[in-house]
């Protein structure tokens, strides 16, 4: 697989693997043996960028990656995150310097490594100046415990303040054909500052694959149950997007998921999507997107067509939306 560079020097595979769903968020955790097999299969297919967080579980996802990736640890980039009290997204945010240091030490042990390649602040903590956060990670980098600093779902002003203290290598935020808000202010800011972009949910939390419709029943522990965009009436309305994507994919002998990912890769050379999956055949399908070439005409056709179909439903319930874009 081709590689891309985040920030000034962090080289990763053009597509990474979002690992959250193996342990958390989309229903019951994947069987450990199957999850390890999937992670190693991704590496064998050229994936060198794996995304985790202490909050995924909590803690279970980092432990899983630590075990799965240890045979080739020196050939992969592992990203993880800090930012919640006790690593629990249902508790308050906590990016105090002491908490950041505690997370770093614990994550190093769970990941079975002596350095965290990319250490993200999971969400901006309004109670801790971003300069203090960046300064703490800068110290961890100087101590050799972290290599690169990242932010997740941060606003442009916060990115600039953090970058002035410690260069930000990557911003991780939602971006896809059905969530394009980053194009207004975030992408120009990142381009100006030389910061890479790592889109999570590049397949619209699964919706752009075409495998979800109004009749889909989610597991009771699946967080999409509380996402307005996934309410039954909105799923029914948003099927028009999938039908359009399916039509475009048919012309390219591709799947809707592959076109959605290829579209993201075509936006900027420093964008590295991290689609997640629990199934090996979906992994292979997603990775096939890296081989699809979209022309400027293709991109124009996709953009024009999608502009005619408004997406129904907010991407987050209000409580979660209040945590992003700060």
Task: Give the torsion sign (CA, 18, 127, 223, 105).
Answer: positive
For the entire predicted model, the pTM comes to 0.98
pLDDT class of 2 with cuts at 50, 70, 90: very high
Q: What is the pLDDT of residue 98?
A: 98
Residues with a catalytic annotation lie at: 56
In the block, residue with structure tokens 């990763």 = 12
Is 3-321 CATH 2.60.40.10?
no
CA 188 – CA 193 distance, rounded (Å) = 9
Among residues 262, 182, 205, which one has the least CA distance to residue 15?
262
Task: Give the torsion sign (CA, 208, 213, 218, 224).
Answer: positive
Q: Is the pLDDT of residue 92 over 90?
A: yes
Q: What are phi and psi of 142, to 5 degrees?
A: -65, -30
Rounded average pLDDT over 44-61:
98
50 contact partners, CB below 8 Å, separation of at least 6: 16, 17, 19, 39, 42, 65, 69, 76, 77, 78, 79
Mean pLDDT of the chain: 97
pLDDT class of 35 with cuts at 50, 70, 90: very high
Residue ranges of the domains in the chain? 3-321
Condensed to tens digits (0 to 9), the pLDDT of residues 170-219 reads: 999 999 999 999 999 999 999 999 999 999 999 999 999 999 999 999 99
Q: What is the pLDDT of residue 319?
A: 87
Condensed to tens digits (0 to 9), the pLDDT of residues 273-310 reads: 999 999 999 999 999 999 999 999 999 999 999 999 99
Q: For the chain, give the percent of residues with pLDDT over 70.
A: 100
DSSP 172-188: EEE-BTTB-GGGTTHHH
Rounded average pLDDT over 82-111:
97
Give bridge partners of residue 121 from the DSSP assignment.
82, 151
What are 156's two structure tokens?
A: 């442009």
Among residues 144, 124, 107, which one has the least CA distance to residue 134?
124
Chain center to CA of 7: 16
Condensed to tens digits (0 to 9), the pLDDT of residues 64-76 reads: 999 999 999 999 9
Q: How far is CA 9 from CA 55, 140, 189, 196, in A?
A: 27, 18, 18, 10
Q: What is the pLDDT of residue 69?
A: 98
């Amino acid at each position: 697989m081709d590689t891309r560079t985040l920030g000034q020097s962090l080289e990763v595979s053009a597509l990474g693997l979002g690992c959250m769903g193996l342990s958390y968020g989309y229903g019951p955790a994947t069987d450990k043996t199957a999850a390890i097999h999937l992670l190693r299969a991704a590496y064998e297919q050229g994936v060198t960028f794996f995304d985790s967080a202490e909050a995924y579980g909590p803690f279970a996802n980092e432990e899983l990656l630590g075990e799965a990736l240890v045979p080739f640890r020196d050939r992969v980039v592992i990203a993880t995150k800090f930012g919640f009290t006790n690593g629990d997204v249902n508790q308050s945010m906590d990016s105090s310097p002491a908490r950041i240091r505690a997370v770093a030490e614990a994550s190093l042990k769970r990941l079975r490594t002596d350095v965290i390649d990319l250490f993200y602040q999971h969400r901006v903590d309004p109670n801790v100046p971003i300069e203090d956060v960046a300064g703490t990670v800068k110290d961890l980098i100087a101590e050799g415990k972290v290599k690169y600093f990242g932010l997740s779902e941060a606003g442009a002003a916060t990115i600039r303040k953090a970058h002035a203290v410690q260069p930000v290598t990557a911003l991780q935020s939602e971006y896809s054909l059905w969530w394009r808000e980053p194009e207004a202010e975030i992408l120009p800011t990142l381009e100006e500052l030389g910061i890479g972009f790592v889109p999570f949910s590049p397949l619209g939390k699964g919706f752009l694959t075409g495998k979800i419709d109004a009749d889909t029943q989610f597991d009771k522990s699946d967080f999409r149950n509380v996402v307005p965009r996934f309410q039954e009436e909105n799923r029914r309305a948003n099927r028009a997007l999938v039908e359009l994507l399916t039509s475009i994919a048919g012309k390219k002998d591709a799947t809707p998921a592959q076109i959605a990912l290829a579209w993201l890769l075509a936006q900027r050379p420093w964008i590295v999507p991290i689609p997640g999956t629990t199934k090996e055949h979906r992994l292979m399908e997603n990775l096939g997107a890296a081989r699809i070439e979209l022309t400027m005409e293709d991109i124009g056709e996709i953009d024009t067509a999608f502009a005619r179909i408004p997406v129904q439903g907010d991407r987050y319930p209000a409580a979660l939306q209040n945590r992003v874009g700060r």
